[in-house]
Amino acid sequence: MSEPMRLMAVHAHPDDESSKGAATMARYTAEGERVRVVTCTGGERGSILNPKLAHDETILADMPAYRRREMAAAAEALGIEHVWLGFVDSGLPEGDPLPPLPEGCFALVPLEESVGALVREIRTFRPHVMTTYNELGGYPHPDHVRCHEISVAAFHAAADPEQYPQAGPAWEVSKLYYDVGFSYARIEAISTAMHERGLVSPFDEWLERASRRPERTVTTRIRCEDYFDRRDEALRAHATQIDPDGFFFEVPRDVEREVWPFEDFELAESRVPVELPEDDLFAGLRRLVA
């Protein structure tokens, strides 16, 4: 038997893994592949976004510990492995002018330190493929932008034995992808289908704003509708961040399965020949590994 393929998904905060590429990860683990999520921060500065828990004193007393338990439950729902990179949430700065980021937070840690930490995880797990965020962070949270920066740097550094020699033997990751969870085509298709059924779409405002921005290039679509339930279970596990009656659950699942049974990715770099479009993050690799 050939060894399992290995996928590493690098995320900024606990809950990001459940809203970006979760059904794809659940599919691959169900098929016998190994998937490891690396979470850069503990989400310590996250607010309670679920109004049902907004005044829960137990959570407010120890938010970091609560979010760790949520992450463990989400990992179990998806069948993934999980590690913490160990940095502190930067928080989302608000105001005009924006306040400075808190001292010692992830976005201010010297790149050499945070890249080195991720290089160690790459060389330990030896993934064939990595996923992370694009250069905009998916959205401009300082931790998401930093997550992109260290992921790209570590993708290159992990393959170079002269960089971070203390982090273990060099390992070359074959492919790097960006999550494109909110591709314009996906949101437009789902929104249109909801209007055709006489339903209110949660995406109308988003589509108006998105029409004025350049669209990301989707190179890879993973069919994963059989794993939407596991994705939803993982989302609900992050109870402080996800309202079970809120945004993530406003699209009926039968509509989503019919109209867009995929998750979308953008191939950023590849060290193996590829043929686009793809329907597998491991495309071009399975025979090489076998």
Secondary structure (DSSP) of 88-130? PP-----SSSPPPPPTT-GGGS-HHHHHHHHHHHHHHH--SEE
The span from the CA of 15 to the CA of 11, in Å, is 9
Confidence of residue 236 (pLDDT cuts 50, 70, 90): very high
* Stretch 101-119: mean pLDDT: 97
Give the residue ranges of the annotated binding site.
13, 16, 144
Q: What's the predicted TM-score (pTM) here? A: 0.95
Locus of tokens 């659940």 = 26
Q: Is the pLDDT of residue 2 over 80?
A: no
The answer to whether the beta carbons of residues 244 and 232 sit under 8 Å apart is: no
Residue 289: predicted pLDDT: 81
Residue 74: predicted pLDDT: 98
- Torsion over CA of 214, 224, 141 and 69, rounded to 10 degrees? 180
Give the residue ranges of the annotated binding site for Zn(2+).
13, 16, 144
Mean pLDDT across the chain: 95
The span from the CA of 178 to the CA of 259, in Å, is 22
The span from the CA of 220 to the CA of 226, in Å, is 18
Q: Is the pLDDT of residue 231 over 80?
A: yes
Q: What is the pLDDT of residues 194-213, one digit of tens each?
A: 999 999 999 998 888 877 77
* Stretch 110-114: mean pLDDT: 98
- Locate the domains of the chain by residue range: 6-181+217-251+262-270
Q: What is the pLDDT of residues 8-61, one digit of tens each?
A: 999 999 999 999 999 999 999 999 999 999 999 999 998 899 999 988 888 888
Q: What is the pLDDT of residues 239-253, one digit of tens each?
A: 999 999 998 999 999
Q: Is the pLDDT of residue 227 over 70?
A: yes
Q: What is the pLDDT of residues 51-95, one digit of tens each?
A: 999 888 888 889 899 999 999 999 999 999 999 999 999 999 988
Residue 1: predicted pLDDT: 55
Specify the CATH number for 6-181+217-251+262-270; select among 3.40.630.10, 3.40.50.10320, 3.90.25.10, 1.20.1430.10.
3.40.50.10320
